[in-house]
Amino acid sequence: ARSSHMDYDAEMPLLREIGVEYVRVPVSWCWTEYDPSLMVVKDLNPMAKGDGFIYMDDDEVRDKFACEDPFHKGVYWPAVPKPFLAKFLRACAKHGLGATLDIHTYPGGTSVGTFSGVWPRYARFWSDGDAPALDGTAETDVGRDTLKSIVS
């Protein structure tokens, strides 16, 4: 299964050659420990039918690679796989590139409009981000718990 759109060892040196020193990496507030390269595995059963691969079902993909918004039931955000990001950051370091993680989404949504991730619901991060999650899962508040999950 494809888990990268770059060949790090071939392309990162090219970035350095043209003078790029830092890359900006847009990320979500939602993180996962699961490795996306394991979403599809080769079926070792020689009698298996189909294309020779075993795929996760939709529920397993959602459970492992999405986070339910703590303010809006039924709204899911795509998760950033920590193993994928760690591999990317190690490759940046290997090739002398700095990386800035730029958080582009926050739980509850941050702005009004269709690009908020929660449309047509009201964006709640700035107004309620210091409150516990509605489902009671936040230890302190959603904003602080988001930061803890990103740096852990």
Average pLDDT, the chain: 84
Residue found under tokens 């190690």: 90
30-50 per-position pLDDT tens digit: 999 998 887 777 788 888 788
76 contacts 124 by C-beta, under 8 angstroms = no
The number of angstroms, rounded, from the C-alpha of 131 to the middle of its chain's C-alpha atoms is: 23
pLDDT score recorded for residue 110: 86
d(CA 103, CA 30) in angstroms, rounded, equals: 10
**pLDDT-based confidence at residue 82 (cuts at 50, 70, 90):** very high
**Stretch among 69-78, 110-119, 126-135 having the lowest mean pLDDT:** 126-135
Q: Has residue 23 got a pLDDT over 90? A: yes
